[in-house]
Structure 1
Amino acid sequence: MIKLSIFLTRRADLTHEEFVDYWTNKHTPLIAGLPGGEVPVRRYIQLLPTGDEIPGVATAPYDGVAEVWVDDIADAAGWFTSDTYNTLVAPDEENFIDRTKTRFLYAEESPIFG
């Protein structure tokens, strides 16, 4: 399985709280409401920053991270180039994300302990 970590930055005209509200209460239900099989995702998790800081340790400048598990990179590519994504999901992302600052990390997990 491939895990995509998608690092999100809010639009400049939104507060962090407005970003979180839109992402969790409008965008997520939009995706969840798509017909079965439309989204090839095995698992989806939203990471929201706590606001905590450790002195001397740099904090990432993102408003949130979406973690998405897919079977393989072909499923991810198929989703992010699909008509549904490009006509429904991506336009909705414009309501709360500065998409020019979105970054993707494609990874395989290697559990060490826990």
Structure 2
Amino acid sequence: MVRAIPYILILSLDIDTRSSFTIASASSEVLKPNRLPPPVMKLPTIACAANVGIRFMMFARRRQDLTPDEYKDYYENHHVPLLKSLAGKTFPLSHKRTYVNRATPDYSAVIVFGEQADFAYDSMSILTLKDQKHYDALFTLYNDNTTGKAIHDDEKNFIEWAKAVIIDCDHVTRGSH
């Protein structure tokens, strides 16, 4: 099986101005999670094929006063249901979440290959949107003064945004398995 995930752009949202973003190549240092999303996200138009849609990968870090289990529980049983109820038809076609296994008592990542410094996040989410119209509708909702504020306020309960990144990506899998 050959897996390729070509990164189209990286959104590194500026913690100081809270109003801008940087587009960088996958080889850039911007890959390191170290930014906070601004209250209003002005995202670029994403070119996508009609049959592929738009996919975002979000690497998020739990608030440090939460255990990994508390983080996962809150994300799964409170935040995602809240998103679904607020977003309605604009909710992504899929919102898949994967969590880094962490050992107690220090919650270090259970590593097969790499180093602890490589795992500055606790979850990776892949959000799939139908097309540009769906993308625009979702981020309009996310920037809304009422709905967006409710989402942002809830995120403060479990996510440490200063340690998160969001990237746009494509996914290709070849092979029989």
Cα distance in 2 for residues equivalent to 1:94 and 1:35: 18
Identity of aligned pairs, percent? 26
Higher relative contact order (CA 8 A, sep 6+): 1
Residue number in structure 2 paired with 1:90: 152
Consecutive unaligned residues of structure 2, counting only runs of 5 or more, are 1-52, 103-109
CA shift, 1:14, in A, is: 1.6
Task: Give the helix-richer structure, 1 or 2.
Answer: 1
Residues 73-105 of structure 1 deviation map (CA, whole Å, 9 limit, x = unaligned)? 553354234216522211100110011211012
CA shift, 1:66, in A, is: 1.3
Residue number in structure 2 paired with 1:3: 55
Asked whether the equivalents of residues 8 and 103 of structure 1 are also in contact (C-alpha less than 8 Å), the reply is yes
Residue number in structure 2 paired with 1:57: 114
1:46 and 2:101 matched = no
Q: TM-score, normalised by structure 2?
A: 0.55
> Aligned AA for 1:47?
T
Cα distance in 2 for residues equivalent to 1:90 and 1:107: 23
> Aligned AA for 1:53?
I
Cα distance in 2 for residues equivalent to 1:35 and 1:64: 21
Moved more, 74-83 or 101-110: 74-83
Task: Give the strand-richer structure, 1 or 2.
Answer: 2
Residue number in structure 1 paired with 2:139: 80
RMSD of Structure 2 on Structure 1 (CA): 2.2
Change (3 A) 1:97 1:73: farther
> Aligned AA for 1:96?
F
Residues 42-64 of structure 1 deviation map (CA, whole Å, 9 limit, x = unaligned)? 1111101234322x523522111
User: Which entry has the higher C-alpha Rg, 1 or 2?
Assistant: 2
Cα distance in 1 for residues equivalent to 2:76 and 2:158: 11
Equivalent residues, number: 112
